[in-house]
Amino acid sequence: MKKNWIQKATQPMKQKGTLGSFSKMARSKDMSVKELSNAITKNPTKYASSTVKKANFAKTMQKIGRGKG
């Protein structure tokens, strides 16, 4: 896998202005990013598909050590 895949993954978020929106959502709910991503992936039907995608991305970042807990 190329080293710069993360830049390719985050570039669309930067362009849309949504980089950090999942972290902001977690803070507004007094949760960590990890807690929120776990809650969303346990009940994905309660959330918009875009939010579920963000939760999955957050989990991926946590697995590779780039995410914030």
Every domain of the chain and the residues it spans = 22-69
Task: Say how far apart CA 5 and CA 44 lie, in whole Å.
Answer: 26
pLDDT tens across the length of the chain (69 residues): 556 766 676 666 666 666 677 888 898 999 998 999 999 999 999 999 989 988 998 888 888 765 555
Give the model's pLDDT for residue 64. Answer: 73
> What is the value of pTM for the model shown?
0.69
CA dihedral 16, 41, 23, 53 (to 10 degrees): -10
